Structure formats: C-alpha cells, structure tokens
Structure 1
Amino acid sequence: MQTIFLNLLKKRFLLYKKVIFNSKNIFEQSKTFISRSQACVAYSTAIRTEHKPLERIRNIGISAHIDSGKTTLTERLLFYTGKISEMHEVKGKDKIGATMDSMELERQRGITIQSAATYINWKGTNINIIDTPGHVDFTIEVERALRVLDSAVLVLCGVGGVQAQTYTVTRQMKRYNIPCIAFINKLDRIGANHLRVLEQLRERILFNSAFLNIPIGLENKHNGVIDLIHRKAVYFDGKHGEIVREDEVPTNYRSEVEQRRQELIEALSNVDETLGEMFLEEKVPSEKDIEAAVRRTCIARKFVPVLVGSALKNKGVQPVLDAVLSYLPNPSEVKNYALREEDGKSEKVLMDPSRDGSKPFVGLAFKLEASRFGQLTYIRIYQGQVSRGDVVYNTRTGKKVKISRLARMHASEMEEVSEALAGDICAFFGIDCATGDSFVADRDSMLSMESIYVPDPVISMAIKVQDQAKTDHFSKAIARFTREDPTFHCKWDNDNKEMIVSGMGELHLEIYAQRMDREYNCPVTLGKPKVAFRESLVAPCEFNYLHKKQHGGAGQFGRVSGIMEPLPPEENTKIIFSDETYGPNVPKQFVPAVEKGFRMMCEKGILTGHKIAGVKFRLQDGDNHCVDSNEISFILATVGAVKQVYEMGRWHILEPIMKVEVTAPSEFQGAIIAQITKRFGVISSVETSDGYFVLIAEVPLNDMFGYSMELRTATQGKGEYTMELSRYTPARGDVQQQLIEEYQNQLAKEAKRN
C-alpha cells in the first residue's frame, strides 16, 4: 500500500514538473515573440524615417545579350553590399540557384525569364536594381524596366562582344534616353579580348567609348584590373574577392596604362567643353577633372565609360559599383514628364522629384505579378510620396484605390514599408490595374506618365488543354499571364475553331505552356506555329460605294469615295486613315464611323484571312441624306468600299523577316551557311575571331521553325543563335500560293460543314 502511494506521488510530481516546464517554455517564447515584434516595429520605423537624399539614390538596370553574365554580376553586387550572405550560381547546381532567378524554370534552364527588382546599399548610397532577361523573347521585361530606370549597366561578353540582343538593348536605352556604363565580362574565358569588344562598341553601335580600367592578364591569367584615372592596380583577394587591395601598376603595364589613359582624355575632350579647352591649352587634367568630365558626358549620353572584369571569378565587380555612384545620374538629374489632356490637347508637365512632400504623388505601374497576397504592382514614384493607407486615383480608369500594403522588393521576397518617396521603386498589394497605368494623389490633375512601348507579337501557335476538366485552370492562367505580359495574347479563332496564343517567339510560348502545367496543374499542347502574315495592296485602288437601305420609316444611306493605297516599305506594318473631305457631303460627325468601318475590315483580309497592313484609306468625298444617314450607314458604306477594293485591287502577302545572328566555332561555318541558305536567308556579314565566327543574316520567320534543334545537331551543341523582327516584306510566290490554297481549302471545308 505504501509503495502504491509513493508511485502515485512520484507520477503527480513529474506531471507538475512538466506543466511548470511547459509554462516556462511558453513564457520564454512569448518574450521572444514580443522582442521580435518590438524589433520589427523598430526596423519598420527605421525604414520609415531613414530616407536618403536624392543625391544618394540610383535606379539602374542590368541589361545585355543572353548569357553575358547579367544575373551572375547582380549576385556579386548583392554579396559585396551585404544583401546576401553567400553566392550561388545561375544554373543552380547546388539546388539553390541565383537570388534573382526565383522562378524554378529559371533555375532549371539557367536563363532569366522575368525581370526582378532588388535594392542594395553601397558606401551610403541606395541603389535600386532591376535584373532583366537577355533573350529577345522576353524583351517586354527589358522595355518596361528601362522605362522607369534612370540609368543602366550594359554587360558584354568578353568573347562574344556586341551580339544581336546588344543592339536591341541599346535601341531601348536610346528610346528612353538612358545613360549607361559598359562592363566587359567573362575575361577569364578562353578567347576573351577586351580590345576587340571596345572596337565593336565604337564601330557597330557607334558609342563614344573608352576604358576606365584595363585587365591584368586574360583567360586563366586574369588577376585584377588597373584603374586608368588613378593609375593604380586593383586586386581582389579573399575567398570570394571581397577584399579590394590597391597596389602600384606592374612595370610591364605602365606604357599601356599611359596610352589608354590618353585615349580616355581624348575621347572625353571631343564631347566635353571643359576638358576640351584644357586639352587644346595642353593643360594636364587632374584626376578630379577627368572624373567630373566622365560624369557630365555619361549623363548627357555623349560618352560610355567601359569597365572590365569577370563576375564569375569575382574580379572587377566593386569598381562597377563605384562607377554607378560616380558617373550615373540620381533621380534629380533626370527629366521625366507626365501628360495632361486638356481640350483634346496634350501638355507635357515636368515632374519634380524633391523629397520634401510638397508635391502631389505621381507614380507609374510598370510591372504586374501574381503573389500569394494578390496582385503585386511594381511602382516607380516620380513625384511626391505615398504612405500605407493613402488613397490614390488610377488616371486611366478614374477609380479610387486605397494602398493597404506597401513594400520594397528583393527578388521574390518583400519587405513591408510605411512610405515611399520620389525616386523610389516599390510595390502595391491587391490593387486592380494594368501595366502602364498612372496613379495620382490629386484627382483633378489626372496626369499620365508617358507610356511603355509594347512590341507586336511575331508568332502564334494553337494551344489545347489536354484535360477538358481543367478548362477553368486554363482560363485563370491565361487571364493572369495576359494581364502580366502585354506581349502575350490569347484569342479564339472562329475560322479554325481553336485557341490561339501569340508571343515574341517559340521559347516565349513554350515557357508559358510549362508554367500552366507547373503553377496551375493544367497540361497543354502547343500546335504548329502560325506566323503573323499580313495582306497589303500592291498599287492604289479607287473606291466609290453607296449603301442604301429602305424598310419603312427612316432607312440607311451613306456614300464614301476615295483611294486606298499602299504605304512605303518602312511603314508597311501600319494602317492609316486620312480624312481629306471638305464641304457637307460627309458630315464630320460621321467621319469616325468611316474610320471605324475601315479598321474593322482590316482585321481580316481576303487572300488568307490575315490582318491587312501597310495601307492608307483616303476618304475624299461621299454623300449623305438628311434623314436616313447615321453612324451605322457610314460604317456599312465603308465595309462595302473595302470589299470593292478587295475585288478590284491587286493584293499580296507580307511576311516577317527576322534578323538572325548565329555564333559557333569556326569549324562549323560551312554547315551553318548552308543551313541559312537552305532556309532562304540572305547573309549580311560573317566575322571570324579567336576560333569563333558570327554570322548575321535575314531569314523569313516562316522558314526558321525547328532551327534551334538543327543548329545544336550541326554544331555538337556549341552553336547558339538569336533573332529579332527586322521588317515585313512581300512573301515569295510559292509561299503566297500555298497560303492562299490552304485558306481556300479551309473555307471549302467550313462551307461543307454548314
């Protein structure tokens, strides 16, 4: 009995001990939670109160041709500024992948698909960075990033040099007046030659460029760089090159340093008045004089400073950060304009980026992204400030929007903030808008920022859901992707009874098909690609059509006459309506109806059912009835007039011609030239250097399908190519005949079914 009693007391004691321990544990966890909460509040307050002056802010983009090392460079920038604690490689061999490639597909393929934003701090300056894709299929990501950035870093491969997408990126920079610095990367690779790349920058892109530093050794002997302005050798010690060590210039490089330094001064003197006067007076400019001249000319887009290194081998990255601070503009040095519509006229309004809160908020939504919190909208603030809980207005829709959550982005991660000021890039949560929408605090002003250029899709493919039970998933995916990406279109083709997706290339559409499977569990099948052919007139054709209909009471009456004529080759992707009428024959209130009817008929041509392009509709005369004429009458009259031109005019088919750049080892040059010739390509140039050759040609897009596999097979996987739209030209006779026959057969089948 005594033993039973003692066992009972022991069990009760152990139970009490466990309860006390658990209570203590809960108490400690509560203390930890409270301390973390206090820390979060303190950190949030610090973010809210610590705003850098405009001079301490940079907004830059990292842009380049595919596989030039943009994401690798960005990974080093994050590491050296303490944003990340360890670096990872783009291909994701360690199953982690680069920080900015947050999408699983990006890590598997080793390419950047979506632009990603982040921010770093270097020597007391906040730098907002957007890492952009290099592949031409995702050019919209570069387009909208450069639209909102103040400057850029143009990355070039030390072996490949200036490549196809380099031209595209520099054109985009020119479109938005973006100053840049150039970084020649991959000097550790076999065949690297920084001098050749500089010559290509000068000759191909017509940049006024010169080195700010030169490499110490190339390929496997690349050990550091030499700063030409300060005449110092810079080495990057430590496990990851994080320790920057300066030393004297090696003896065998001293003559080259003086030569390249003089080249730099001469290049600056040609475009900078201050340094030019010193050069003419034979005065020796000081280091500060040279640095000031580089900054002035770089911001004015008259000079592009060139730096060198190897991001993968951790060489030359810190000088790039220093150059961003020293030579690229802050938001106050860039002029940004908004448009105000008044009485049908557009007025440009200069934005004031001062951060004192005296100006009303103006921002531009440049990128949309789905997140677990709802739609994530990336915003560039051009004027004023925005805080959590503020109410702003969408200029396009006029709707009132409350900002419930505000954040700064670090790739796929986000950090909530209480407010953001002019010059910042931030994100709104859960608001309904579209890419390119402007937001303002002053409802009456309704300012709109200048729009983002969106290229037209160049390729279409049929898409089919493998499991019809997942049609809802497909609809959700399409709704999201078309909202996020203005170059990705989806429509139902009534003629072919199939869903058609359009985009910038095969890879573009293939990526979205894979994302539907991965993110929405909706496997799809892509059909044979369809090229965006166009139909156009060969010669001018007159029209004169009367639409008249009487059915009791008021009828329909409208006459239009004029000429439809082809546009010149450089404008053959446009359709233009010209009102050349005078007098009362065609009342001015009905002219928009005529234009509406014309544009409606241009949606589908007579030869192949493709859109009409490259034509001008000149409305010269017509007739109306005081009772029977109305808007629908003139729409139908225009429809009849275009049908007249269908029958009486001479039509032909235009096809897209692509600029193709192929890079491969020289041993495969003959085979690749034969491939391009077989595909009806016209070779523009062939350059050979260091065992590689670069072929540039113009090839019809219709003949480029399947070329990636053929190129890999012919070059043992060593060749690569890129292509971009060059222009539209008349298709070959056999192609036109084939397309017309296919269209006629299709119409005949539909007639039988009906």
Structure 2
Amino acid sequence: MTILTSLRLLTSYSRSTAAHVLKQGFCSHAKFAEHKKLEKIRNIGISAHIDSGKTTLTERILFYTGRIAHMHEVKGKDNVGATMDSMELEKQRGITIQSAATYTIWKENNINIIDTPGHVDFTVEVERALRVLDGAILVLCAVGGVQSQTLTVNRQMKRYNVPCLAFINKLDRTGSNPDRVLSQMRSKLQHNAAFIQLPIGLESDCKGIVDLVSEKAIYFEGDLGMQLRIDEIPTDMKEEAKERRQEMIEHISNVDETLGELFLEEKSITEDDLKGAIRRSCIKRSFTPVLVGTALKNKGIQTLLNAILDYLPNPGEVENTALVEKEGKEAEKVVLNPARDGKDPFVALAFKLEAGRFGQLTYMRCYQGVLRKGENIFNTRTNKKVRIARLVRLHSNNMEDVNEVYAGDIFALFGVDCASGDTFVTNPKLELSMESIFVPEPVVSMAIKPTNPKDRDNFAKAVARFTKEDPTFRFQYDPDVKETLVSGMGELHLEIYAQRMEREYGCPVTLGKPKVAFRETLIAPCEFDYLHKKQSGGSGQYARVIGLMEPLPAHLNTTLEFADETVGTNVPKQFVPGVERGYRQMGEKGLLTGHKLSGIKFRLKDGGHHIVDSSELAFNLAAQGAVREVFESGSWQILEPIMLVEVTAPEEFQGTVIGQLNKRHGIITGTDGSEGWFTVYAEVPLNDMFGYAGELRSSTQGKGEFSMDYSRYSPCMPDVQEKLIREYQESMGIATDKKKKKN
C-alpha cells in the first residue's frame, strides 16, 4: 500500500484507524537507509521572506509524504507548533530562528529538506543551508510579492548557483494577485520566469490549479485535500490557459535549444518535451518555473512535490568542486564524483554546528564516497582524526541512526570538534578543502552582562556555545570602555540570544547601548615644571620634571608618544623609564571625561634629583603630577571615532537615506548606482550610528543594507563634549559649579 493511498483512507477511517494507517505508511521510511540510486535523491531548501509560509509548507510536505501523523500550525492554538520549529522560542514567537533538517520519501524518491528562517537577522542560517543544497523552493506571498528578504535570498541563491522553483503561496488571502508577483519576479529579481500552473479562483474561491504542462485541472478534495481529482480545464479558463502555455513555451524556448528548434519549426510540443526543457533550463538557472497554491488550505502541495522530482537536480547533476592546496602554487580545483558506488574517497563539508544532548552535533553534507559507522575521518584544516561512533539522520530535533551515508546525503555526527565550513576526508593525503560559507559582517553591537554576577560561569558557557554555532554572533571585551560587547545581524538577533541564555542556561542578562571609545587630547602645546617632594623623616621622595606636552599631527591622534630630551645628569637615565611609565599610566584615564588620552607627545627636557631620596617611583609620581598640572592649565578637547559607512538600497529611497545620514552628522563622500540600486559612501560619528539598522530597514521597506568600518578619530561637536564632561563630573560627584572651563 503506498503512502498516498493510505493517506486517502483517512477520510473514511476513524481517528484511531487513521493513526494506524499512518504508522503503516511510516514503515516505508525504514527503507530510507537503503542504498538508493543518485537519481532518486533531492536535497532542497525552502527559503523566503518572513511570513511567506515556509514552515507551514514544510509541515504540509511532511504530512502528505506520511512523515508526520498530524499537521500543526505555526504559533497554533493547540500549543504544539510546527514540527520544524522545535525550539520553545520559535513556537512562542511563531518565527523560525534556526534552520532545521529533515527527510522524507515521495514516489520512492528521498527528499532531504532544510527549512530556513526568513528574518534578515538569521541570514547566516540561509547561507549555510544554500551552500550544501542542490535546489531550492523560493516561496512568495501572493499578497506581499517580492519583499526585502526575497531579494536577499535571491542573491544568496545566485552566489551558490542554486536552481530554484518559485511557489506563490497564500492564494486564499484577501488581495492575492499572482500576476503581480510574477511581474515583480521578472523586474525585481531579473528571473526569466513563467507560470507552469494557474490558480482556479482566488481568495475564498480558490478551488484548485490548472497544470499548463499536462493541460489538466487538478482539484484537492476530501479531508485535508488529500484526494487529487484530475479533470478538464474549466471552460472559462481555456483561453487564458492556452495563452499562458504559449507564453511559458516562448520563455523556455529562448533559453533551451531543443525546445527552441521545435518552437521555430512549429512542431507539436508534447508533455515530455516540455518537462525535459523545463528541467534542463531550471538546472542551468536560465528559467524559473512558477507554481501556485495555498499551504494553509492544503492546495498545491502534491503538485509541488511532483515538480521537485521533475525539475530540480539530483546530486549527480550539480558540479561540486574542492580545492587542492599545493605549496608555492595556486590552489587547483578538482571536480568531485557524486557516484554512490563508494569507489572514490569520502569528502564531506561541515555546514552547521549545534549543541545537542550528547555534545556538539555537526551537520554535514557528503559530496563524494561513502562513510560507515566505525570508520575514521580527518579534518583537513587541523589534521585531527575522529572515529565515527554514531551516524544519524535528522528529523527536526529527532535523530535516527544509520550505518552508512553516501554521496548526496545530509547527516550529522556527534563529538566532532570542528568549525563551520571545515572539510572532512577519510584519506588525509588528499589535502582537499571545499570552499567555505560566506559569513556577512555583524551590523549591531550591544553591551551585555549577567544580571546576577554569580551566573558568570553559565554566561561564559552560553557565549562559548553560541559564538561557535553562529559565526555572525561575535563576542569581545573592549578594554577602552571596560565593557563586554556582543555583535550580531540586528537587535532581534541579539535579543533572541539573550532570551536563550536565560531559558537554556538560567542566566538572565542585561543588554544595553554600548559605550563609545572617546579620547581626550590637547589642542595647543603646554609647558610643565613639576616638583614631587615628600621628606618628612625616614626615606623620602624627590623628583622634578620639566618639559612640554604637545598635540601630535591628525594622522597620529590615536597614539601617545614620549621623548627624552634631557642633557646632563639632572634626571639620571635610570629614572627616565619611571617618568614614561607615570605618563602612560595617566594616559589610561583622562581627567576631563575619564576616557583615554591620545594624540599627545610628552617631551622631557630637564628636571632635578636628590642623591638619596630620588627613585624611579618618585619620578613616576612626578610625571603623573605633571600631567595633572597640564590638565589644569592646558586646553583640552574630546575626540570621537568616525566610521566609514556604506549604504546600499533601491534607488527610490536615495533621498531618504542621504537625509538620514545628514541628520546623523554624516559627510557624504560619494555615490554610485546600477540596475535600480544605489550605494552611498559617508563618514559618520560612531556615537550617532546607534539605532541606524532599524531606521534604515523601516525607511527602505527592509531592503536597505549597510556596513561600517573604523576610519579615524576627529574632534566631536561642542554639545557632545559638554554632555560628556557633565556626565563624568556627575558620576564622580564633582559639583558642576566647580567645573573647569575647557576650550
């Protein structure tokens, strides 16, 4: 009995009987571990903008293929949540945070599926999924169309050359318009796309679909749309179907020679001719087939599964390469053999790390050869040997043991100490390494600390785990401002990790705006003559330093310099290091705002000593006193870090973006643009960049992106300087009326 037949029986069986039938269907999954032909395998990802219905679609796919017994909704009323959203936070928020892997069977074909997050903050999860997949389903909302994250996902697919099908979901929603979505795919995503299916009715009137390839209407009937009824195309749609089929043939003929010849010679085009042409052009990424349906209302899923088998490539149809490192030579590219005969040496890529119940869980994709339980593998980066004690396949957060994996399989290992992007082989002499995963730079930083100091150990464990699992989550200690900082792809990204620390490690943390590493510097040279004298019985202290403190040129304004210009023996040479040490100690914390001193040169010209009471300590204290003296009599100012900011967004938002940068005291240094996008380059004070990520996303409909790098230190605005001085004096308990007027 096939899974599909058993599923159809659900309509006439009781609940208990239905569960029994499904169990029978599940038995066929035991065959999954069997050695299958390469043509019978598909590795696909499901990617889209937030709330396009990716996780709901995956849930339906698992149900119709007999992988799960019951369907649950994302953030559902039954408090169960979707199968692929296994994390408690995902169920609570109704969003996907981590990509989840599973596998299923459809028409005797193994389908490995990775459900990825839609939020831009978790973009690295999509990057690493697409790196190891052979094909993808680009899900688009019939109302929202091509949105910001759709553009990002499209760029990622292009980066890894991943063929894709487009699935226009949510036809049942009010305002759904598949025609508008198709036109956006062509204009915004630059896809050569055409419908291969048409909806029969929209919104509440959505009944089924018309398959333009087979020229048949398909209705999804019975409980949960499990019975497929194939019929003639409705009379009122025949003309439209004919036009759309012709349009589809023209789009494919432009990129496929075989179909192009048939089209030009005006020969009759069969269903097999069309399927072959769609498959060839889809694999070459020269044509994108567009399917339609509504996952929530259980329409169009079975036909999508058929399209995955018909049009997306198997692992043998995708060329994967590895680099062979040779000393003194440029790395050579080697094409890997995906044949499942096990004759070639094993090669796999670790693409995701996760802390499991039994230690680190490493997700891998096998590109060549076979790996069996009990064998040894080598990490080509570290040359470490690992014995394989357990091989597992994943179904969300459940694991199923297998004895061997072949080329094209996605699997996981326990207890492998490695980094994301490492290559593993069974023959260490191969010296192969696969191209790693593109990791975008973090854009938002926040100060972080455990709410309770007693939780420091758990905090350290959580940070160690999360930074290893997620390469876009960075952790560092800034000695300048004495703060621990975390960086990520957005405020939601950091907020999720803060919540996970509390839930998973019992360590509540406090997130806050990070401090900016300001600097204090002199405006004009200032002389000093300071005598340090302590002679009240016993061993005394005596040291005198005379010289000049002066500002350094602008290109050296982040450094402190010391020069010994003494002549003679007034300051004995063995005490000069004490003077320098005292000066540099004072440089750690300025007296104006408590920030470091920089851009200053201390020139020691003369001084005086006592034959008995002088010491290195005395000269150290004298130098500190000299700096305080210059602070009292000299003119000081605050320097702030200036960042080079690069913003990319669609052209229609150019005026808005430039206006925002000007409001943040930015200086525009240049602009350029192409294909409807523009890039603006600016120099903006770091202190004015907080909150910019959210502002840019909201003002560009989520399509804008920016990056920033440190450029230089520059004098800050007078109002900022006044505010910093006032805040420092208040924190030190200094009365504001005693405030020394500076500059």
What TM-score comes out, normalization by structure 1 length?
Answer: 0.70
Pair 1:390-2:390 in alignment:
no
Give the 3 Å change call, closer, same or farther, for CA 232–735 of structure 1 in structure 2: farther
Partner AA of 1:338 in structure 2: A
C-alpha distance in 2, partners of 1:417/1:148? 20
Deviation digits for residues 39-65 of structure 1 (CA, Å, limit 9, x no counterpart): 9xx9999555x1110000000000001
Specify the alignment match of 1:91 in structure 2: 75
C-alpha distance in 1, partners of 2:720/2:455? 36
Give the 3 Å change call, closer, same or farther, for CA 176–477 of structure 1 in structure 2: same
Contact conserved, 2:643 with 2:708, CA < 8 A, in 1? no
Query: 336, 339, 345: which one pairs with 1:351?
Result: 336
Pair 1:409-2:399 in alignment:
no
Q: Which has the larger radius of gyration?
A: 2
Tell me by how many angstroms 1:726 deviates. Answer: 3.9
Give the 3 Å change call, closer, same or farther, for CA 492–463 of structure 1 in structure 2: same
Give the 3 Å change call, closer, same or farther, for CA 87–672 of structure 1 in structure 2: farther
Partner of 2:102, secondary structure, is strand
Give the 3 Å change call, closer, same or farther, for CA 696–746 of structure 1 in structure 2: farther
Partner of 1:722, secondary structure, is coil
Give the 3 Å change call, closer, same or farther, for CA 95–680 of structure 1 in structure 2: farther
Pair 1:518-2:508 in alignment:
no
Partner AA of 1:390 in structure 2: E
Query: 242, 248, 260: which one pairs with 2:232?
Result: 248
Query: 350, 363, 387: which one pairs with 2:348?
Result: 363
Partner of 1:72, secondary structure, is helix
Pair 1:152-2:136 in alignment:
yes
Tell me by how many angstroms 1:387 deviates. Answer: 1.1
Specify the alignment match of 2:480 in structure 1: 495
Partner of 1:444, secondary structure, is helix
C-alpha distance in 1, partners of 2:164/2:223? 30
Partner of 1:404, secondary structure, is coil
Specify the alignment match of 2:305 in structure 1: 321
Contact conserved, 2:481 with 2:515, CA < 8 A, in 1? no
Specify the alignment match of 2:316 in structure 1: 332
Query: 40, 64, 73: which one pairs with 1:56?
Result: 40
C-alpha distance in 1, partners of 2:141/2:113? 20
C-alpha distance in 2, partners of 1:181/1:129? 14
C-alpha distance in 2, partners of 1:190/1:530? 47
Tell me by how many angstroms 1:285 deviates. Answer: 1.1
Partner AA of 1:500 in structure 2: L
Specify the alignment match of 2:421 in structure 1: 436
Contact conserved, 1:100 with 1:411, CA < 8 A, in 2? yes
Specify the alignment match of 2:740 in structure 1: none
Percent identity over the alignment is 58
Tell me by how many angstroms 1:743 deviates. Answer: 12
Pair 1:199-2:183 in alignment:
yes
Contact conserved, 1:460 with 1:530, CA < 8 A, in 2? no
Contact conserved, 1:662 with 1:696, CA < 8 A, in 2? no
Contact conserved, 1:460 with 1:532, CA < 8 A, in 2? no
C-alpha distance in 1, partners of 2:192/2:440? 28
Partner of 2:223, secondary structure, is coil
Tell me by how many angstroms 1:483 deviates. Answer: 0.4
- Taking the TM superposition and a 5 Å limit, the aligned residue runs for 1:451-600 are 451-528=436-513
C-alpha distance in 1, partners of 2:142/2:217? 20
Contact conserved, 2:642 with 2:714, CA < 8 A, in 1? no
Partner of 1:342, secondary structure, is coil
C-alpha distance in 2, partners of 1:71/1:661? 32
Instruction: Give the paired residue count.
Output: 581
Give the 3 Å change call, closer, same or farther, for CA 43–110 of structure 1 in structure 2: closer
- Taking the TM superposition and a 5 Å limit, the aligned residue runs for 1:36-435 are 48=33, 50-344=34-328, 345-435=330-420
Contact conserved, 2:349 with 2:366, CA < 8 A, in 1? yes
Give the 3 Å change call, closer, same or farther, for CA 508–120 of structure 1 in structure 2: same
Partner AA of 2:340 in structure 1: R
Partner AA of 1:318 in structure 2: Q
Query: 608, 626, 644: which one pairs with 1:654?
Result: 644
Gap regions ≥5 residues in structure 2: 1-23, 519-553, 565-594, 597-639, 672-676, 734-743
Tell me by how many angstroms 1:300 deviates. Answer: 0.4
C-alpha distance in 2, partners of 1:210/1:67? 23
What TM-score comes out, normalization by structure 2 length?
Answer: 0.71
Tell me by how many angstroms 1:282 deviates. Answer: 1.5
Partner AA of 1:654 in structure 2: L
RMSD of aligned Cα (Å):
4.2
Deviation digits for residues 289-345 of structure 1 (CA, Å, limit 9, x no counterpart): 111100000000100000011111111111111110000000000000111110132
Give the 3 Å change call, closer, same or farther, for CA 297–520 of structure 1 in structure 2: same
Gap regions ≥5 residues in structure 1: 1-38, 534-539, 551-607, 610-649, 664-670, 685-694, 713-718
Partner of 1:401, secondary structure, is strand
Contact conserved, 2:323 with 2:334, CA < 8 A, in 1? yes
C-alpha distance in 2, partners of 1:738/1:405? 64
Pair 1:722-2:702 in alignment:
yes
C-alpha distance in 2, partners of 1:736/1:455? 30
Tell me by how many angstroms 1:655 deviates. Answer: 2.9
